[in-house]
Amino acid sequence: MKKKIINKYMKFPTALAAAKGGAALAVEWLVPLLDANGKDDALLLAAADKKRAETVGDSVHLRGLIEFSNYCRKNCHYCGLRKENNKINRYRLSKEEILETALKAEKLGYKTIVLQSGEDLHFSADAMSKIIKELKNKTKLAVTLSLGERDEETYFAWKKAGADRYLLRIETTDPVIFKKIHPDSDLEYRKNCLYVLKKLGYQLGSGVMVGLPGQDALSLAKDIIWLNNLGVEMIGIGPFLPHKETPLKDEKGGTLAQALRLIAVLRLVFPYSHMPATTAMGTIDPMGREKALQAGANVMMPNITPTAVRPLYEIYPNKICLDESADKCFGCVTARIIGLGRTVGTDYGDVVRQIRNPKLEIRNNKDK
Ligand code: SF4
């Protein structure tokens, strides 16, 4: 006798109703949304755009991104900055250059800067603390850090120095995929970094890469459930874009459609979170950032790194906005936002704390 195959996943309309109604998170309705196509896809994106308007409103918050070092101790298989890529020239901005860039950003109207680098231990707990303190003394900027995995003492020192927010993407919570793409990272260690950051009181950002080899809608659904348990407040989504100087160079990349669907589902699950329309989406499609803003995103991160070094921060290939000065970039993104009938945020765009029931399991973090 033939076994009856039971599809445990809901039909799309029921799944969308569950998402809109704030149902408890379950793969049964997350998967059909993440797999939506055609008309269903359009309905999902429209629902997310509506939810965004009702919750975080029409403001788009700008975060000025300063990529201050492309040195990295790690060898992530998807990243052009990986240690073993000896085809790129490495650079570090000095403390003075970082401060000068941040001051210019504040003059232009930015309220937040994001200090991002590879995992570069040259910027020790102490060195970074000095930079953060000086930034906080000389400006009114909110400071977001995106410096990878460090130990608890270091995260504590940076928080004490005045850092407000931290971004650390988990990329995937699937242990097999995580191991395949991170030869020198440990999933549990990365998770624990995020628990520690949360415990220390940072406004916390994480996120995933979409379109990774071996990843499917179920794997993404499980990522979403984990992000919810973490109590994440800002969520960054990046499509996987193969870089020719990495071991994943021959893999198929992620698509804008996948990224937009994921943003839309995340907006329905995390109505008040901050979500960027990333440069990577603008790299896949000239209108990619606009499309993301219409699928639930409410943040943009213009690159304000000095143009002399900007092309050297090549995590993924064919990055856009490499030549424009900071003020041109500011004008360009402002025009794009206004073109969508939206407004540029004039406040700090701090997180709205509405997180449901994070489950924290904190161990001691020590730099490996
Ligand atoms: S993803 Fe980050 S940690 Fe990994 S190689 Fe690139 S810069 Fe380094």
Q: Whose CA is nearest to atom 2 of ligand 1?
A: 118
Residue with the smallest CA separation from ligand 1 atom 5 is 82
Best mutation site among 65, 75, 82 for ligand 1, i.e. most ligand atoms within 8 A of its Cβ? 82
The per-residue pLDDT for range 185-235, each reduced to its tens digit, is 999 999 999 999 999 999 999 999 999 999 999 999 999 999 999 999 999
Kindly tell me if the per-residue pLDDT of 366 is higher than 80.
no
Per the prediction, the chain carries an average pLDDT of 93
Q: What is the pLDDT of residue 317?
A: 86
- pLDDT confidence of 363, banded at 50, 70, 90? very low
**Ligand 1 atom closest to Cα of 72?**
8
How far away, in angstroms, is 316 Cα from ligand 1 center? Answer: 11
Atom of ligand 1 minimally distant from the CA of 149: 3
CA 346 – ligand 1 centroid, Å: 32
Homologous superfamily, domain 26-344: Aldolase class I (3.20.20.70)
> For 52-110, what is each residue's pLDDT tens digit?
999 999 999 999 999 999 999 999 999 999 999 999 999 999 999 999 999 999 999 99
Q: Could you state, in order of their start, the residue ranges of all structural domains in the chain?
A: 26-344
pLDDT at site 294:
98
Question: How far does the centroid of ligand 1 lie from the alpha carbon of residue 117, in Å?
Answer: 8
Q: Ligand 1: which of 76, 77, 178 to mutate, most ligand atoms within 8 Å of CB? A: 76
pLDDT band per the 50, 70, 90 thresholds, residue 2: low
Residue 16 · residue 33 · CB < 8 Å: yes
At 7 the pLDDT is: 77
What is the best residue among 65, 68, 73, 74 to mutate for testing ligand 1's pocket, by most ligand atoms within 8 Å of CB?
A: 74
Average pLDDT over residues 272-292: 94
Q: What is the pLDDT of residues 153-181, one digit of tens each?
A: 999 999 999 999 999 999 999 999 999 99
Q: Which residue has the tokens 């901050």?
A: 274
Residues with CB under 6 A from ligand 1: 72, 74, 76, 79, 81-82, 118-119, 148, 315
